[in-house]
Amino acid sequence: MDEKKIIALFKKVKAGKISTHEAFLKLRHLPYEDLGFAKVDHHRLMRTGFPEVIFCPGKRIEQIVAIFKSLSRRNKNVLLTRADEKIFGKIKKINRRAAYNKVAGAVYVLEKKPAKSGFISVVCAGTADLPVAEEAAVTAAVFGSCVERVYDVGVAGLHRLLDSFDRIARSRCIIVIAGMDGVLPSVVGGLVSCPVIAVPTSVGYGANFNGIAPLLTMLNSCAPNVSVVNINNGFGAGYIASLIHKMSLCKN
């Protein structure tokens, strides 16, 4: 039961063939898998178009392995975020195709090929923002997008950004990651015609307040095409960018 079936279901609802309540009931039928310590939400793929992701911190390694196995049975691509090498070792033994992005701290299986049409860009201000940028890039790739990386183009040397301008400007969606003063999304947003997802990072010192300064900068951006996710939330940015990219691929 995938997204098409769900849309068919709603068409029936609209046509009056089944009631709203019956439709919702059907949606609720597909059970989650109860592992005791967690309820793995296979349902999510249907509801949201994307499988659940394993956020590793605070979970024991056996729990991670169990959730991974459960997800693997139903998904081609699987993503584990904030994972260390030890976790990667365990996952690698279970699935030889698992790969590890060390900078992002992400383990992933990428068996389903990305969309051929269009791409998203991941732009970051400084080298210290790379872990968040890579998390965004890996996430978008796992969820089916081609990704262009444009790194170390902060406004302190504006010409570096302008040099990459033509690469960036054709993106379906641009993720812009910055710590310190967080000005890069405003500058990029003013130059392009696609949605910009801004990610503040906790990189900086003093009155940066662990990312509050760039978060506020981004929320107050003069460029109206900028929306914002949580501090260091590379995963969320990659996920949303991929959603927007996917939207642009729909046959309307």
Segment 198 to 227, residues that bind a second copy, using CB under 8 A: 200, 202-209, 211-227
Distance of CA 107 to CAs 59, 89, 103, 168, 237, Å?
15, 10, 11, 27, 17
Q: Considering the rule CB under 8 A, would residue 16 count as an interface residue with a second copy?
A: no
| C-alpha 16: how far from chain center | 36
Shorter beta-carbon distance to a second copy: residue 96 or 250: 250
Distance of CA 242 to CAs 76, 145, 186, Å?
16, 6, 21
Shorter beta-carbon distance to a second copy: residue 89 or 248: 248
Given the rule CB under 8 A, which of 68-76, 85-93, 106-114, 237-245 is the region that contacts a second copy?
237-245
We find the least distance from the C-beta atom of residue 86 to a second copy, in angstroms, to be 19
Residues 31-50 close enough to bind a second copy by CB under 8 A: 32, 37-39, 41, 43-44, 47-50
We find the least distance from the C-beta atom of residue 107 to a second copy, in angstroms, to be 18
Given the rule CB under 8 A, which of 68-76, 87-95, 105-113, 183-191 is the region that contacts a second copy?
183-191
Alpha helices in the chain (DSSP H): 3-14, 20-29, 43-48, 61-72, 85-94, 130-142, 158-163, 165-169, 184-189, 212-219, 234-247
